[in-house]
């Protein structure tokens, strides 16, 4: 595994480690208030990034495209902005980052869908 695939998979592992640590901390403290943010980190950061990494590993033509690099950037921004944004929204300080991160996350998925569909036509 190399390139974009390795980057996505590495970020998936990092997300899983942080998410699991956060889950243990919530369990130990008995405070599960931030569980929605924890869940988004695990689902989008770990599961989503792992799926992207596996796809790009299996379809090298997709991984070599310029759009794949844009996809990686938008996906990372989505998680890095959305997860703290959800924390802020739960704490009722602001919803702006959660909204911006959500827009980046869905943009990332739409771009991935485009990459998937356009690469499929070339195969």
Are the beta carbons of 90 and 42 closer than 8 angstroms? no
What is the pLDDT at residue 121? Answer: 60
Find out whether 74 and 110 touch, Cβ atoms under 8 Å. no
pLDDT band at 1 (very low <50, low <70, confident <90, very high): confident
Cβ neighbour number for residue 5 with a 10 Å cutoff:
21
Q: Residue 6: what pLDDT? A: 97
The residue whose two tokens read 């998680």 is 79
Question: Are residues 119 and 59 in contact, defined by beta-carbon separation less than 8 angstroms?
Answer: yes
State which residues form the domain around 87. 3-122
In the predicted model, is pLDDT for residue 51 greater than 90? yes
Give the total number of structural domains in the chain. Answer: 1
The answer to whether residue 78 scores a pLDDT higher than 70 is yes
Pick from 49, 50, 24, 52: nearest CA to 38:
24
Reported as a single tens digit per residue, the pLDDT across 4-35 is: 999 999 999 999 999 999 999 999 999 999 99
| Alpha-carbon gap, residue 120 to 123, rounded angstroms | 5
């Amino acid at each position: 595994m190399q390139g974009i695939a390795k980057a996505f998979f590495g970020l998936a592992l990092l997300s899983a480690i942080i998410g699991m640590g956060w889950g243990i901390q919530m369990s130990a403290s008995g405070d599960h208030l931030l569980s929605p943010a924890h869940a988004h980190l695990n689902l989008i950061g770990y599961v989503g990034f792992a799926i992207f990494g596996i796809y790009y590993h299996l379809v090298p033509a997709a991984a070599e495209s310029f759009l794949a690099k844009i996809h990686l950037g938008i996906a990372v921004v989505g998680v890095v902005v959305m997860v703290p944004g959800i924390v802020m929204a739960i704490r009722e300080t602001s919803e702006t980052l959660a909204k911006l991160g959500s827009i980046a996350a869905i943009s990332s998925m739409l771009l991935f869908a485009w990459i998937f569909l356009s690469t499929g036509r070339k195969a």
